[in-house]
Amino acid sequence: MKSVITKIFLSAAICLTAMEAHAILPNEASFKNETNDTTKLNNLLIKAIQIDDPQARVAAIGREFVGVPYVAGTLEGSPETLKINLDEMDCTTFVETVLTIAYTAGERRSSWRDFVYNLEKIRYRGGSINGYASRLHYFSDWVVDNVHRGTIKEYTTRMPANDWTVKTLDFMSSNRDKYEALSDSTEFERIKSCEIGYRNHRYPYIKTSKITNKAIVAALKEGDVVALTTKTPGLDVTHMGIIIKKDGVPHLMHASSKHGKIIIDELPLADYLRKNGSTGIRVIRLNE
pLDDT in tens, 231-283: 999 999 999 999 999 999 999 999 999 999 999 999 999 999 999 999 999 99
Binned at pLDDT 50, 70 and 90, residue 288 comes out as confident
Cβ atoms of residues 154 and 204 within 8 Å: yes
Is residue 9 pLDDT above 60, yes or no?
A: no
pLDDT at 20 over 50: no
Confidence (pLDDT) at 140: 98
For range 16-40, the mean pLDDT: 72
**Residue 12 pLDDT greater than 80, yes or no:** no
Question: Using CA atoms, how far apart are residues 44 and 247, in angstroms rounded to an integer?
Answer: 27
**3-state class (DSSP) for residue 237:** strand
Distance of CA 31 to the CA centre of its chain: 19
Q: What is the mean pLDDT of residues 204-209?
A: 98
Say what the pLDDT of residue 18 is. Answer: 39
**Which of the pair, 23 or 47, is modelled with greater confidence?**
47
Express each pLDDT in 161-201 by its tens digit: 999 999 999 999 999 999 999 999 999 999 999 999 999 99
Q: Which of 132, 155, 145 is nearest to 282 (CA)?
A: 155
pLDDT single digits (tens) 29-40: 899 999 999 999
Average pLDDT over the chain, rounded to an integer: 92
The top-level CATH class assigned to 2-286 is mainly alpha
* pLDDT for residue 147 is more than 70: yes
Q: Crossing angle for the helix pair 91-106 and 34-48, nearest 10 degrees? A: 50
Residue 16: predicted pLDDT: 44
pLDDT for residue 285: 97
**Taking 90 as the threshold, does the pLDDT of residue 24 lie above it?**
no
Q: How much is the pLDDT for 8?
A: 47
Instruction: Return the pLDDT at 23.
Output: 58
Query: If pLDDT is split at 50, 70 and 90, which confidence band does 216 have?
Result: very high
In degrees to the nearest 10, what's the CA dihedral of 235, 80, 240, 32? -150
Q: What's the pLDDT band for 5 if we cut at 50, 70, 90?
A: very low
Contact 154, 67 (CB under 8 A): no
DSSP output for 93-153: HHHHHHHHHHHHHHTT---HHHHHHHHHHHHBGGG-B-SGGGB--SHHHHHHHHHHTTSEE
> What pLDDT is attached to residue 27?
60
- CA-to-CA distance for 211 and 146, rounded, in angstroms? 26
Distance between CA 123 and CA 146 in Å, rounded? 9
